[in-house]
Structure 1
C-alpha cells in the first residue's frame, strides 16, 4: 500500500493510515485500490482504470475501509461464499464487493460471457458506472512476475514463477482481445447499453534477482510494487544479509491468497507461524517449485509482526529454465 508507491488521491498522511488497517481481507482490498499499477498507460487501447474520479472519492474510500476494518464479517462471508482458490478470482471478489458497497463507482455487471454460435469467445470482467455517469469496462489482472533476463529491458523477460505465463503475452492479450470485447457486436446484443470505455486494471508485484535493479521496459510503471527472488542454494546467505539490512527477525511461506498486500501477524513467533532461516530452509527443501516467502520484523508500534520484504525462493535449475522460457 503506501509503502509500495503513491496512493492515488490521498495525501501522504492519509495514505499512511492504510497501514493501520488490521483485517487481512480489508488490507488486500485497500492494496487493490491504492497500490501502483504494474503498467503505464498504453494508448489508445490501453487506458488505465482509475478507481476514483476525485480526491474526495479516495478519502471517502479510506473512511469506508476503516469502517469495513472495524466490522469485516460481511466481507468475510462474501469471500467464503465465492470459494475462491485462485489469486485472480480472489481479487475479482474483493473488487466486486467494493463496487457494490463502496462510495465511488458502482457495479453494473461482472463476468459477462460473450458467445458466438454457442462458443465462448471471451468474458468482460466488470462493467461500472462512475458517479459522474461514465460507463466503463474494466479488465482486472493481478500478476506476479519474476525478471529472468540478463540485462534486457523487455516485458518478455518477466515470467510467471511456474513458467506458464509471460508479461508480454498477458499485455498483448489485454490490448488485442480482452479490452476490445465490449465493442464487439456480440456484446451489444447482451443488452448492456454502451458505449463502454475499456480500461485495464493491472496490479501485482515484480521480482528481481537478489533484489537487484536492472533496466526496466518503458511500459512498466516505475512505482510498481517490487520484491526479490533467489535460488535455494543462495537463499540462506541472502536471507542473512536481508535481515541485517531491514531488521527481519523471522520468515514465513506465503500461501497464494496472501500475495496481495504486505502481511501482518500477531503473537509470538510460533503463534504467528514464523521461523528462523535454518528451519525455513528445511521446509523449502520439500517444495518442488518456486515458493513465495516473506521476512518479518517485530512491530513496536502495533505489536506483533510486520512484513519487511517478500520474494520467491526458486529451485537451483530454475534460472536457466526461466531464461529459456523468456527467450522462447
Structure 2
C-alpha cells in the first residue's frame, strides 16, 4: 500500500533526504500536550535551532488537516501550540481515521517513527519513550512505542523511558522484541528526569560515530526494527531521585483514584508531577530534549559521513 499520497514532505527536508544530508525528526505531542503556550512553541523552535546548529535539518512531524507532515513550518508549529490539547494525540491506531476525516494530530513516538520512515528520515529525537505502565500485569497498559521500535527502522534518541513507568518490564519487553537498547556514555538506563535507574542497558557506546556505525550496520543487515539510544539528562539538570519518585507515587495514586487510563495517563501524570515539583520537572524535561536533539543531530551527521 502506498501512503505517500497522504504525506507532505517539506521542501528543505525532501532536498536533504534526496541529497543524503542529515535530517532529524521531531515529535509534536510535546508541543500540543507537553507544556503550555507559548512555552511549547518557544521550546519546539529552539529544538529545531539546536539541530541546525549541530549540522542537521530538523523535521517536526504532525498531522494537519488530515495531511501527514514531515517538516512543519513555523506557522504550523505556532498553530499546534495554540491549539494545545484540542489537537488529537495520535498513535498508530488513530492515523487512518484522522487522515480520512481531515483532522489534526500531534504525533507520539510511534507515529513520528512511522511518518519519518515514510519520508526517508532515519533518526528521531524525543524526550522519553512510552513503555510498560506500572500495574500493567492487570491493566495491560503498554505503550505502542515499544511495538513500533520492534518494527520500524528508525533510531530513537531519548532520555530513557519516562520514570512514571515500570522500567524493568519496559526493558524486558524491548528485549523480547529484539530492540537493542544503547546507553550513550553509560551502561545504566537513564530514567528521564534522573541519570540513574538501577537497570542496565544492552550496550554502552560513547560517540555519535559509534552510534551511527551501529545503526548503519543494523540497516545493512536488513533488520526491520529500530534502535533505542538512551542519553542521560545533563548532570546539572538531573533531579533528586527521592523528590521525583515521591511526586510520581503521588501522581499515580491520584490517577488511580480518578480512573485515568489509556492515552490520557501519561499527560495526566506528567502534569501532576510538574505541579508537585513546582515546575522543576518541566524545566528538566525541556533540557533533556535539547540534549537529545544535539546528540541526534551529531549522529545524523556521522551517518552521512560514513557513506
More helix by share: 2
Bigger radius of gyration among the two: 1
| Common topology (TM > 0.5) | no
TM range (shorter): 0.3 to 0.5
Q: TM-score, normalised by structure 2?
A: 0.32
More strand by share: 1
